[in-house]
Amino acid sequence: MNILSKKSLPLGGFAGLTEHRLVTDLRVFGSRKAPNTFDGIGNFVYLADAQFNPHGQTHMHSHKEIDVISIMMNGRVSHEGSLEHGQSLNVGEAQVQRAGGEGFSHNEVNPDSTKNRMLQLWVLPDESGQRAGYKHYTLKTNGVTRIYGGNKNQDKTFNSQTVIEIVRLSSGESISYDKEVLAYVSQGAAEFSDENSTFSAEDGDLIRAYKTKITANNNVEIVVVSQSV
């Protein structure tokens, strides 16, 4: 089991937001990889835990051949750009933007006078040259919500062998994984146990583990990334 705490990393940022970057994969960042950050798993290559300043924004920018996943933790953002212009993302919701070969441009704006909090993840697509697309999810209040990954014969999520799920557990509830996972505790606290060790994780901890049982110490939300094969 490997653990990385958000508290151990420097606070960076750009434009109208500040962020801790926990995953900056060598395949994308190369020599620009942030020190002490993890590489990803499967095609998952980036994780940032960000806060927008009051009325802060990223400003319009473009992506190509990358899938951009945003999970709203506190507050809201207004989404502007070439995909679903005008869409709002509120606490308890997630959006996935597939840039594909045609790409997309967007600006994310905090419309409020208080800070918000949003997680952003990047995943490389399994196949290049796909059409750009957008999907929006409301997370289950309890249980597992898959927001990314799956077979081509379904359209609930964008297909990929990399799987991203939002796990919400009440105190005392457990979930187990028999394969390697990268799990980010985004709210609450939980105990992680594998074949060799146990770790009490809290908000801001990223855990890489294999054959893992996760037990909630209180109401907890965890972003779990794995591979389907």
CATH number for 184: 2.60.120.10
State pTM to two decimals: 0.95
What are the pLDDT digits (tens) for 59-112? 888 899 999 999 999 999 998 877 776 688 999 999 999 999 989 888 999 999
pLDDT band at residue 26 under the 50/70/90 scheme: very high
Average pLDDT, the chain: 94
Compute the distance between CA of residue 104 and CA of residue 81 in angstroms, rounded to an integer: 7
Contacts of 95 (CB under 8 A, 6+ apart): 69, 70, 79, 84, 87, 89, 134, 135, 136, 137
> How far apart (Å, rounded) are the C-alpha atoms in residues 133 and 73?
23
Query: How many domains are there within the chain?
Result: 1
Structural domain boundaries, residue 56:
2-227
C-alpha 86: how far from chain center: 22
What pLDDT is recorded for position 85? 67
pLDDT at 84: 74
Per-residue pLDDT tens over the stretch 176-196? 999 999 999 999 999 999 989
Q: What pLDDT, in 10s, does the model give residues 114-144? A: 999 999 999 999 999 999 999 999 999 999 9
- Single-letter code of the amino acid located at 95: Q
